[in-house]
Chain A
């Protein structure tokens, strides 16, 4: 149980285009989802916390107008990188928590984004 999927697994796009990444909890309802960014050989940096039906909470330094997060249902959160630039190239990983009183984060497989 507690499986999280992400789609796509990798994407290459041209500078200036927008890219949407989906994060799904397959066998549980996720009250909270998190979006992380990980650069090569670095740690996971939290970008935002996403709660179903409400606006995402962004970490300091993360542009909310550039990284649009929508958590429309208890099993789906999306991250849209708008007007992507080469410096946005990274590994984006989502995670989900199974309930309001739970702590364990289950991670998706990640999406590798390359902006040319």
Chain B
């Protein structure tokens, strides 16, 4: 049973870069052919898909965030990461990492989520 766990700072100052890591256990990112997603949820609002990365490193980002987002994968550590630059209060949300079985499937396993607040 795969498990995902987000980690990173819970507080980020405006204009800085938000950096989060997702550690995958119960399976190897490098040996499996899954896609790995980041999704966020501002309080009381709908879920927003940020983007996804494949084990090869290929990425696909939400155009609304593309200029500020980058994702990477470290198969040796079974981790993948998210960076979101120039954050504002509008980026305050619970951030989830998740797994997709293929590039044409929904997210079937999710981390518990991490609340990131953008504030000075």
Q: Are A and B associated in one complex?
A: no
Q: Which residues of A contact B (CB under 8 A)?
A: none
